[in-house]
Amino acid sequence: MRLTGSTPDRPLPSGEDIFATVAELYPICRSITGDGVRRTLDIIGRLIDVERHEVPTGTRLFDWIVPDEWNIREAHVTCVSSGERVIDFARSNLHLLGYSVQVRARLPLAALKEHLFSDPAHPDATPYRTSYYREAWGFCLPHRALLALPEGEYDVVVDSTLAPGSLTYGEYLHRGSGEAEVLLSAHICHPSLANDNCSGLALLAHFAATLRGRRTRYSYRFLFAPGTIGALAWLSANEPRLGRIRHGLVVSCVGDGGGPVYKKSRRGDAMIDRVMRHVLAAAGPDAEVMDFFPYGYDERQFCSPGFDLPVGLFQRSLFGRFPEYHSSADDLDLVRPEHLARSYALLAEAVDILERDRRPLNLFPKGEPQLGRRGLYAPTGGDPEAPARNMARLWVLNLADGRHSLLDMAERAGMRFTEIADAAETLARAGLIDDQASSSAREGQPRSRSDIIIGSKGQGIASVGSS
């Protein structure tokens, strides 16, 4: 039986709901460590019961070491002659080079300029820069503003703390009927950048909240961790259990109107790669599936040769390819509720395929079973969808030999997975196929057919089979 998406106690999030979370996360000054990450997890923690991990400074994580914890109180540059505060962290946290060490100094403009960063290619935007693993201080500003700084002396204040503490990351597990897991990960280390990655954090938090109370075949593990070092902390803590991760997506930059883009896992032929290729095939002319390359977000760590997890990267615009990327132009105007809703729907569709895919068995394989007698072969007059529905049933019956999964059938038939999966449900109800025989993921036997829906209001609905 198919339920509608929302349940009275678990309404589906709208694009506006997700956007509201993006807007709440946006002003916080985050970095790879520090209170900004904790405050971000506080906000996510209002949606889901996120578990926090604190990894002490100095902890070795493979070839990396957790650095000192960084916290910032104030930072500004003041022109001595005019008394004007020409750069101020209080106006935008992007103005400060991330991980800047404490400094109080008076400098001439020429010396100050060695600590100023701008982007001549985007002269009106403040670029986002960090110096995590090399002690430094600096300020970022629009190139036009840098050129306008008058000669003279400047007072510089960076009131930061860089001291032993810990690295913080958040984790949330939605338990399915089996131990096999889907990893969904978003980086939590960027300051005021809305698309990269307040959008990913908000999307996954709302998706996790929607799963709560719903039965799924897979368990869903959500990771909110600082880029690179946070992913390594999680991998290090979970190395013996990584075999449970059967599919995964890194999610970032999902609030703009570009793409969608999917970057394949290192394996290139993982189930998640096929699923995303199928989802994006119907996602419009700008949808793009790319081969793996060892640059980007934490798929770099998950797909390093020592782990080689089946994890791909899901984005709208590819990082680095949209002009607002890593600058103050990546703000709350770039991210729109309708784009967030569409990204949510695409993610839900992928999860829907993971949950519903299975290898059914035709119980009447000798000749075609007589569909008309069972009311399963619709006359082709009248209902415009009847021919496609008939074809989907014929494909399922023909390929339900126990070797083909529903996704195999959809690809072979050139049809959408949903059409094939719906046909299989109908045929199973009529007793013509056994769709409980196996699942393509071999993750235990589904108990009932799709009774879970995770869609987004007004953006189509994806159903999720339970087991």
Report the interface residues with Zn ion, using CB under 5 A: 196
CA–CA distance, 205 with 251 (Å, rounded to integer): 11
Nearer to Zn ion, 196 or 419 (CB): 196
CA–CA distance, 73 with 161 (Å, rounded to integer): 8
Nearer to Zn ion, 196 or 425 (CB): 196
Minimum gap (Å) between residue 16 Cβ and Zn ion: 25
Minimum gap (Å) between residue 69 Cβ and Zn ion: 21
Q: Are 331 and 323 in contact (CB under 8 A)?
A: no
Minimum gap (Å) between residue 70 Cβ and Zn ion: 17
Residue listed under structure tokens 């800047």: 100
Nearer to Zn ion, 332 or 378 (CB): 332
Nearer to Zn ion, 300 or 356 (CB): 300
Q: Tokens representing 290? A: 């790319």
Minimum gap (Å) between residue 318 Cβ and Zn ion: 12
Q: Are 187 and 203 in contact (CB under 8 A)?
A: no
Q: Are 14 and 457 in contact (CB under 8 A)?
A: yes
φ, ψ dihedrals at 273, nearest 5°: -65, -40
Nearer to Zn ion, 70 or 218 (CB): 70
The number of C-alpha atoms within 13 Å of 171 and in the hemisphere containing its C-beta is: 18
Minimum gap (Å) between residue 326 Cβ and Zn ion: 6
Distance of CA 49 to the CA centre of its chain: 18
Minimum gap (Å) between residue 31 Cβ and Zn ion: 12
Nearer to Zn ion, 92 or 362 (CB): 92
CA–CA distance, 405 with 360 (Å, rounded to integer): 7
Q: Around Cβ 258, how many Cβ atoms within 10 Å?
A: 16
The residues pairing with 72 across neighbouring beta strands, listed in sequence order, are 160
Minimum gap (Å) between residue 187 Cβ and Zn ion: 7
Minimum gap (Å) between residue 191 Cβ and Zn ion: 10
Nearer to Zn ion, 302 or 417 (CB): 302
Nearer to Zn ion, 197 or 210 (CB): 197
The number of C-alpha atoms within 13 Å of 184 and in the hemisphere containing its C-beta is: 25
Q: Around Cβ 444, how many Cβ atoms within 10 Å?
A: 16
Diameter of the chain by CA atoms? Answer: 93
Minimum gap (Å) between residue 315 Cβ and Zn ion: 11
Minimum gap (Å) between residue 317 Cβ and Zn ion: 12
Q: Are 125 and 328 in contact (CB under 8 A)?
A: yes
Q: Omega before 260 cis (within 30°)?
A: yes
φ, ψ dihedrals at 241, nearest 5°: -105, 5
Q: Contacts by 420-425 with C-beta closer than 8 Å and gap 24+?
A: 420/392, 420/395, 420/396, 421/356, 421/357, 421/450, 421/465, 422/392, 423/389, 423/392, 423/393, 423/395, 423/396, 424/358, 424/360, 424/396, 424/400, 425/449, 425/450
Nearer to Zn ion, 196 or 298 (CB): 196
Residues 6+ apart with CB under 8 A from 38: 52, 168
Nearer to Zn ion, 196 or 443 (CB): 196
Minimum gap (Å) between residue 33 Cβ and Zn ion: 17
Q: Indicate if the alpha-carbon torsion angle 203, 206, 210, 212 is positive or negative.
A: positive
Q: Nearest to Zn ion by Cβ — which residue?
A: 196
Nearest to 90 by CA among 114, 73, 102, 68: 73
Nearer to Zn ion, 128 or 222 (CB): 128
3-state secondary structure of 395: helix
Minimum gap (Å) between residue 118 Cβ and Zn ion: 18
Nearer to Zn ion, 128 or 417 (CB): 128
Q: Are 371 and 233 in contact (CB under 8 A)?
A: no
